[in-house]
Each structure stands twice: as structure tokens, then as C-alpha cells.
Amino acid sequence: MSVFKGFSHDVIKFLEEIKYNNNKLWFDQHYDFYQREILEVSRDLVEAMGESLAELAPGINIIPKVNGSIYRFSRDARFSKDKTPYKTHLSYLFWQGTLKRTRCPGFYLSIRPEYIQIGVGINHFTAEYQTAWREQCAHPDKDKDIRLIIEKLSKAGAIFNGEQLKRMPKGYSTELLNQDLIRYKGLKCYFQLPLPEQVYANEFVAYCLYYQRQLIPLFEWMVMILSQFSIENDSNNNFK
């Protein structure tokens, strides 16, 4: 059983301070704190949240380590104009499927000093996934199902985000019910909420679960898409 008891207030202070001290020297000086108060507590959070999510989504991947369900705190700045070495938020992922974790539908959680995000989605669809996504969104027997899911989440305050084509892809009519969805190249849906007091206590898991339950229909739809094409495994799955 997990022993997650919440993050300390000093963790949020750490995230605030690294915005203005985003360099290796400062991080090295606070490395022991990061290991003890952030990384170790993050493992407990993943285990506790994983227990709840496994009941909602049997078979979901729960890996309580860095490059598993815990994102690296260091940034990959090779292809970014922002060369700061560290992130200023904590992030976690629980994914469904045997492909590389970023290619699968997943629940994610992001914690910042100002707010948290609780969501589901895939940042970038693979070519196979995108084809199957479009076909299902355009399917005359299924198009209304996904539209109802989207509308219900929108009314609940969820935000939809992702790169989209400017025009409908070739072969798809502009008269289709879900033309906005068909144009997505990746899709994330999330609730953005002010940093709750629960983050400092074990009640944080139940707090997140309330919103994750609302996201289950979209998550299940996205998981269903995986069954629409033949790729079952990713030989390069290294949890990066």
C-alpha cells in the first residue's frame, strides 16, 4: 500500500524558486531536497494514484520511477529556444497500451505553484493512430458518441488542446459532424484548477480521481482507437 501523505509546502516553494534559479549550480545545491521531498514522494503518489486508476482502467501502466510514470525534471533543450536545464513543474503519466508511453492514450497530471492540470490524451498521434482516429470520428454509427463525450466534458469545464490541420484532410467532407476532431494531429483534454490545499495531504489522490472519472469516457474512446490498427508492440519502448 502507498504511503503518500501529500507534498510539503517547501516543494511548491522549490518550484517557485527554480523559475529564478534555473541553473545546475542551484539545482545541485538542492539535489538532496529534490530526491527526498519530490522524487520519493512522487513515487508514493504514483503508487497511490495508480491503485485508484487501475480500478477505472484495468491494465493501465503504472511505473513509479523516472521515465516511467514520473517525467524527468530535467528538460531536453536540444531543439528548443529555451535552454534552461530544468522544468518548473512536476508531471506524471499513466498510459494504456504496449506502445511507447507517449504514443498511447494516458492520464496525466501536472503540478505548478499556480495551478494543476488533470487530463487525458496523446500529444502527437502516430500515422496509424491518426488514420484510425479520423475514421472513427467520421464513422456514421459512432460520430455522435464522441460528440456527446466532447460536449459533456466541455460543459464540465474541460479544456481541449492540440495541434490541428487548418483544413480538412483529403477524403473527408467539411459537412461531417466531427470535422474539428478529424483535424487534430494530437489531442489533450484537461481540467485546469487552482493549486488545491489537498496537494499537501493524502486527500490529493481522491481530489484528482473526481476529475479523472469524468475523463474516463474520452480515455476509453482513445483506447478503443488502438484496436483499429495492427501495431501491437513497440520494440523501442524504453519509457522515454
Asked if residue 102 lies in contact with residue 122, where contact means CB atoms within 8 angstroms, the answer is: yes
Residue 204 lies in a domain: yes
**236 domain-assigned:** no
Cβ burial, residue 25 (10 Å; 0-12/13-18/19+): exposed
Whether 234 maps to a domain, the answer reads no
> How large is the angle between the packed helices 143-155 and 127-138, nearest 10 degrees?
100
Domain of 159 in residue numbering reads as 9-226
In a domain, 138, yes or no: yes
Q: What is the mean pLDDT of each run of 10 residues along the chain (240 residues)?
A: 88 97 96 97 97 92 96 83 90 90 93 98 93 95 96 98 95 94 97 98 97 97 84 40
**Range list of H helices, the chain:** 9-18, 24-29, 31-33, 40-56, 127-138, 143-155, 179-182, 204-226
pLDDT given at position 233: 43
Residue 13 in domain? yes
Provide the pLDDT for residue 75: 87
Q: Note whether residue 233 is domain-resident.
A: no
- 10 Å CB burial of residue 197 (0-12, 13-18, 19+) is exposed
- Those residues whose C-beta lies under 8 Å from the C-beta of residue 149, and which sit 6 or more positions away, are 217, 218, 221
Give pLDDT, residue 2.
58
Residue 208 resides in a domain: yes
Q: What is the CATH number of the domain that holds 90?
A: 3.30.930
Asked if 140 and 238 touch (Cβ cutoff 8 Å), the reply is no
The pLDDT, as a whole number, for residue 228 is: 78
Gap between the Cα atoms of 118 and 189, Å rounded: 8
> How many structural domains is the chain composed of?
1
Q: What is the C-alpha to C-alpha distance for residues 23 and 84, in angstroms, rounded to an integer? A: 7
**Residue 162 within a domain:** yes
Contacts of 133 (CB under 8 A, 6+ apart): 125, 181, 182, 184, 225
Model pTM score: 0.91
